[in-house]
Amino acid sequence: MTIQLCTHPLAQHLLTGLRSTETDPQHFRPLARRLTTLLALEATQDLPMVATPITTPLEPMEGRVLAQGLVVIPILRAGLAMLEPFMELFPNVSVGYIGLERDHATAVASSYYCKLPNVARQTTLVVDPMLATGGSANQAIELVKAAGGTDVRLVCVVAAPEGVAAVNAAHPDVPLYAASLDRQLNDKKYICPGLGDFGDRLYGTL
């Protein structure tokens, strides 16, 4: 089972706030943004760079800048909570959107929207807070690969072992990043201990 966990103490502190039933949407949203910032840094540590000559106030030198742009694709709707930190951190970011709606009876997601920028030869991060069964993530990754994406990464807040196994099986070349690998899915395919329905808690639609 391949997954890279963000073990920074601040990440775990923020995640605890997201999990708590006492956290209302007003406080849930900034916690999600801050935690996503840490996850974004974790998932992009190896981005390619190129040398560039610059002049400091004291002398010329050779600096290093990002070699290419970055593509971020949130899975609607909950993935929107993870978009802003990427846009703030990276100067040349392109954004796509994939809409997948989960049937609460079957836990199977159906696609209702897909708008992707150029993903060929770009590092593309698919972002979705909850990796439960892995069905939505696998569908999104397949769409990105069909559009020419080769360097695809999945960034989540919380993952279940079942979802990690499903993504690893379908897309062994795709690295996974999360703040926690939780215990299991319950009989309704919700992550335990989890944090409930991320989208509902984010948008106050409980």
Domains in the chain, CATH or no CATH each: 4-44+69-203 (3.40.50.2020)
- Which are the contacts of 20, defined by CB distance < 8 A and separation ≥ 6? none
pLDDT tens per residue across span 38-60: 999 999 999 999 999 999 999 99
Among 5-14, 105-114, 167-176, the range scoring the smallest mean pLDDT is: 105-114
pLDDT of residue 106: 62
206 vs 162 pLDDT, higher one? 162
Residue type present at position 106: T
Q: How many Å from the N-terminal Cα to the C-terminal Cα in the chain?
A: 33
pLDDT tens per residue across span 63-83: 999 998 899 999 988 999 999
104 vs 59 pLDDT, higher one? 59
pLDDT of residue 204: 83
Average pLDDT over residues 82-95: 93
Name the phi and psi angles at 82, rounded to 5: -100, 0
pLDDT exceeds 60 at position 107: no
Q: For 163-175, b where at least 16 C-beta lie within 10 A, e where not — what string?
A: bbebbbeebeebb
Tokens at 86, concatenated: 């990427």
pLDDT exceeds 80 at position 110: no
Task: Give burial (CB, 10 Å; 0-12/13-18/19+) of 105.
Answer: exposed
pLDDT exceeds 80 at position 101: no
Q: For 117-131, b where at least 16 C-beta lie within 10 A, e where not — what string?
A: bebeebbbbbbbbbb
**H or E element, residue 142:** helix 135-146
Catalytic residues: 102, 106, 197, 200
> 96 with 41: CB under 8 angstroms?
no
Beta bridge partners of 64: 51
pLDDT of residue 91: 81
pLDDT exceeds 70 at position 116: yes
Confidence of residue 205 (pLDDT cuts 50, 70, 90): confident
